[in-house]
Structure 1
Amino acid sequence: MSPLEAPCPTLPDDLALALRLADAADAVSMQRFDAADLRIDTKPDRTHVTEADLATERAIRRILDAERPHDAVLGEEFGTSGDTARRWVIDPIDGTHNYMRGIPVWATLIALTVDGVPQVGVVSQPAIGRRWWAAVGHGAWTSTASGETRGIRVSEVDEMGAASISFQSIEQWDGVGLLPALESLTRVVWRDRAYGDALPYMWLAEGRLELVAEFDVKEYDIAAIAPIVREAGGRFTAFDGSDRLDAGSSFATNGILHDAFSAALRDEAAR
């Protein structure tokens, strides 16, 4: 059978592969986590990269080369290869600065997009023994350090005064001129924290938060997160309300409060 005649994998097939990719990534990343001699370099954009970032992405790409040789790949460390409708999007270690300081809150993010739309997402945080995953139409799931697997669902909180939010980084909001709007919102909601990186999105998908929003994000930062939030019943958009992954922002909510949060921030920003 020629490559053109080969059957297209089903979403369950792709999700099963994504979970195996996460297994391989965890094995590599955990080998060097909190190592005293971890090699750390600086990239041209002045962000840090560790030997583990590079090794983890290589491990994922090796498996994709063998099992999905005709799919495109976008990775944070090695860029884009291939040009097809099906594209795997990888952040080998989301939270590199935590990783290099021995803080266990970091993750490997693995997504499959088709025509730019996320279809499969896996977020694996091996240092705390947690993993989350979803495929469109198949729900959102998590596994715990004890081995329990369960479905997850966003909260039903319907009042901003009862909502808990993660704004991720003051610097990000200040950089887009929305810090005053954020400050105003924090006076309305029940609780606000800057948890950072992928974990608060997973807490949102589990019903523990109602809003996670940030700026200066790349496609590989959010492609794996979007289907998990959506399959858990939430909404995931850019700040401008679009579904684009390349808009440079993310705005994830429990769905019920999405419009209210957006309106509150926009109204304050317009003053």
Structure 2
Amino acid sequence: MTFPRPSHPAASSEPSIAEDLALALRLADAADAVSMARFDAADLDVSLKADATHVTESDLATERAIRAILEAERAADGVFGEEFGAAGDTHRQWIIDPIDGTANYLKGIPMWATLIALAVDGVPRVGVVSQPAIGRRWWGATGLGAWTGHADAEPRRLAVSSVDTVAEASVSFQSIAQWRDAGELAALERLTTAAWRDRAYGDAWPYMLLAEGRLELVAEFGVKEYDIAPYAVIIPEAGGRFTAYDGSDSISARSALATNGILHDGFLALLHTPDTTPTESR
């Protein structure tokens, strides 16, 4: 796969952003080989973590494969993965979710992905989302644009939609339970009432649909850095905006709000409109 070169190379003491992106794509290749080897296996080993979420043998093996390459080729960089935690320097930190959508993976549903990002001083600069069960991958890096490709096709540059009214927007809200647990059901009702179309596609896929110009908003709660870091690169490089739900530029706020950019402020205003439902007189 090919991609543009950066206009401003990194300092000689560090790899260039193009070199980091090339490595991230190779990490995704290695991850795909491991995760697909056991996808839909009848004897897949599955267990529960302390937080009552599932983890499979493939989650663990995929993250190990990524870490092994990083240890060999970027020993000075830090790593923060869902399954094995954080280690090393945080100046340059690789952020890994080996299988985002484990519940789908263990059910044999192909809508899951490996998420790989590189953050420099806490800011994501490289992002890759690989969805091998459907033969798709998306990637981007600061200043290099955002791209997508099939296994045997030339990469295509991504661009968000030009939809400029909420009434014409298609939105994805992930799950009602997330919004209920966050105390935002009223906001979800305002959103889905105002938008043209709403669906809960779930996990990585709707963010990539947004980057492709097929959706105008994706929002969710209860996410950690490894759940969302690549989107904070790919979506802005495709022309959109990615923030926390409150509009702050953070991947550590346990929420995400991605839009086509044009509608970002409008969606923020809609979602954060104070509830004016009258209360009973005392």
Q: Tell me the TM-score normalised to structure 1 length.
A: 0.96
Is the Cα contact below 8 Å between 2:76 and 2:89 reproduced in 1? no
Pick the aligned partner of 1:45 from 48, 51, 59: 51
What residue number does 1:71 align with?
77
Q: Tell me the TM-score normalised to structure 2 length.
A: 0.93
Equivalences for 1:181-196 in 2 at 5 Å? 181-196=187-202
What residue number does 2:220 align with?
214
What residue number does 1:157 align with?
163
Counterpart CA distance in 1 for 2:223 and 2:51 is 14
- AA partner of residue 89 (structure 1): I
What residue number does 2:153 align with?
147
Structure 1 residue runs without a partner (length 5+): none
Q: Report how many aligned residue pairs link the two structures.
A: 267
Residues 98-125 of structure 1, C-alpha deviations (whole Å, 9 max, x = no match): 0000000000000000010000000000
Task: Give the secondary-structure state (helix, strand or coil) at the position aligned to 1:267.
Answer: coil
Is the Cα contact below 8 Å between 1:178 and 1:269 reproduced in 2? no
Task: Give the secondary-structure state (helix, strand or coil) at the position aligned to 2:83.
Answer: coil
1:174, distance to aligned residue in structure 2 (A): 0.4
Task: Give the secondary-structure state (helix, strand or coil) at the position aligned to 1:25.
Answer: helix
Task: Give the secondary-structure state (helix, strand or coil) at the position aligned to 1:240.
Answer: coil
1:135, distance to aligned residue in structure 2 (A): 0.4
Counterpart CA distance in 2 for 1:33 and 1:246 is 30
Is the Cα contact below 8 Å between 1:98 and 1:106 reproduced in 2? yes
What residue number does 1:230 align with?
236
Pick the aligned partner of 1:86 from 52, 68, 92: 92
Pick the aligned partner of 2:33 from 19, 24, 27: 27
Task: Give the secondary-structure state (helix, strand or coil) at the position aligned to 2:272.
Answer: helix
Residues 215-271 of structure 1, C-alpha deviations (whole Å, 9 max, x = no match): 000000001111000100000000111111110000000000001111011115465
Residues 94-153 of structure 1, C-alpha deviations (whole Å, 9 max, x = no match): 000000000000000000000100000000000000000000000000002442311010
Is the Cα contact below 8 Å between 1:72 and 1:83 reproduced in 2? yes
Residues 171-193 of structure 1, C-alpha deviations (whole Å, 9 max, x = no match): 11001111122112211111000
- AA partner of residue 208 (structure 2): M
Residues 62-91 of structure 1, C-alpha deviations (whole Å, 9 max, x = no match): 000000000000000000111230000000
Q: After TM superposition, where is structure 1 displaced by more than 4 Å over at least 4 residues in a row?
A: 268-271
What residue number does 2:67 align with?
61
Structure 2 residue runs without a partner (length 5+): 1-10, 278-282
Pick the aligned partner of 1:100 from 99, 106, 112: 106
Counterpart CA distance in 2 for 1:254 and 1:51 is 36
Counterpart CA distance in 1 for 2:274 and 2:227 is 27
- AA partner of residue 199 (structure 2): R
Counterpart CA distance in 2 for 1:244 and 1:269 is 26
Is the Cα contact below 8 Å between 1:213 and 1:252 reproduced in 2? yes
What residue number does 1:240 align with?
246
